[in-house]
Structure 1
Amino acid sequence: MIKSKWMLGSVAMAATLLLSACGGEDSSESLGEINLAYVEWDTEVASTHVVAHVLEDMGYDVTLTPLDNAIMWEAVSKGEADAMVAGWLPATHAAQLEKYGADLEDLGANLEGAKIGLVVPSYMDVNSIEDLSDEAKKTITGIEPGAGIMSASENALKEYSNLEGWTLQSASSGAMTVALDQAIKNNEEIIVTGWSPHWKFASYDLKYLEDPKGIYGGAENIHTFAHKGLAEDHAEAYKVLDAFSWTVEDMEEVMLDIQDGTSPKEAAEKWVKDNSELVESWKK
Structure 2
Amino acid sequence: MPRTMQAILAAGLVAASLNAQAQDDKALTIGTLNWAENIAVANMWKLLLEEAPYNYEVELSNVGKSVAFSGVASGDMDISLETWLPATDASYIEPHKDQLVIHDVWYEGAGMGLVVPSYVEAESIADLAEQGETFDYQGEPTIVGIDPGSSISSLTEEAIESYGLPMRQLSSSEVAMMAALDDAYRRQEPMVVTLWSPHWAFAEYDLKYLDDPRNVYGDEEAIHWFSRKDFAEDDPWLTAVLNAWYMDDDALGSLMAMIEETGDPAEGARQWIDENRALVEEWLATGEENAQ
Shared fold (TM-score greater than 0.5)? Answer: yes
Q: Deviations over 1:57-92 (max 9, x none)?
A: 211111001111111111111111111111022232
Q: Distance in 2 between the 1:74 and 1:269 partners?
A: 30
2:259, 2:269 within 8 Å by CA — same for their partners in 1?
no
Root-mean-square deviation over aligned CA pairs: 2.2
- Where do 5+ consecutive residues of structure 1 fail to align? 1-5
Contact 1:76 1:226 in 2 (8 A): yes
Q: Note if contact 2:145-2:153 (Cα within 8 Å) is conserved in structure 1.
A: yes
The residue number in structure 2 matching 1:32 is 26
Moved more, 254-263 or 60-69: 254-263
Post-superposition offset of 1:205? 0.8
The whole-number CA distance in structure 1 between the counterparts of 2:106 and 2:25 is 24
Once residues 101 and 241 of structure 1 are traced to their aligned partners in structure 2, the CA distance between those partners, rounded to angstroms, is 20
Distance 1:21 1:146 in 2: 49
The residue matched to 1:102 in structure 2 has which SS?
A: coil
1:105-133 residue CA offsets vs partner (Å, 9 max, x unmatched): 01121111111110001111110001112
Length-normalised TM-score, structure 1 = 0.89
- Find the partner of 1:145 among 135, 148, 151: 148
- Residue 211 (structure 1) aligns with: 212
Q: Is the alpha carbon distance of 1:25 and 1:278 closer, same or farther for their aligned partners in structure 2, counting shifts above 3 Å?
A: farther
Q: Is 1:258 matched up with 2:259? A: yes
Q: 210-219 or 263-272, which moves further after superposition? A: 263-272
Q: Give the Å deviation of 1:272.
A: 2.4
Q: 2-side partners of 1:20 and 1:84: how far apart? A: 36
Structure 2, unmatched stretches of 5+, are none
SS in 2 for 1:193: strand
Q: 1:59 maps to which residue?
A: 55
In structure 2, the CA distance between the partners of 1:24 and 1:256, relative to structure 1 (3 Å rule), is: same
Q: 2:46 is matched by which residue type in structure 1? A: A
Correspondence for 1:187: 188
The alpha carbon displacement at 1:136 in A equals: 0.7
Deviation, 1:270, is: 2.3
2:14 match: 20
One-letter code aligned to 1:230 = F
Residue of structure 2 in register with 1:47 after alignment: 41
Q: Which is greater in Rg?
A: 1
CA distance in 1, matches of 2:237, 2:110: 28
Equivalent residues of 2:28, 2:57 under 8 A apart: yes
Distance 1:18 1:81, change over 3 A: closer
TM-superposed deviation, 1:258: 1.5
Identity %: 35
Q: Alpha-carbon deviation of 1:277? A: 3.1
Cα separation, 2, equivalents of 1:248 and 1:100: 30
Q: Give the Cα separation in 2 of the matches to 1:106 and 1:214.
A: 25
Deviation at 1:146, TM superposition (A): 1.1
- Pairs within 5 Å for 1:128-277: 128-132=124-128, 133=130, 134=132, 135-137=134-136, 138-161=141-164, 163=165, 165-277=166-278
CA distance in 1 between partners of 2:182 and 2:23 (Å): 46
Report how many residues are paired. 276
For 1:232 and 1:189, the matched residues in 2 are separated by 52
Q: Which has the higher contact order (CA 8 A, sep 6+)?
A: 1
- Give the Å deviation of 1:12: 7.6
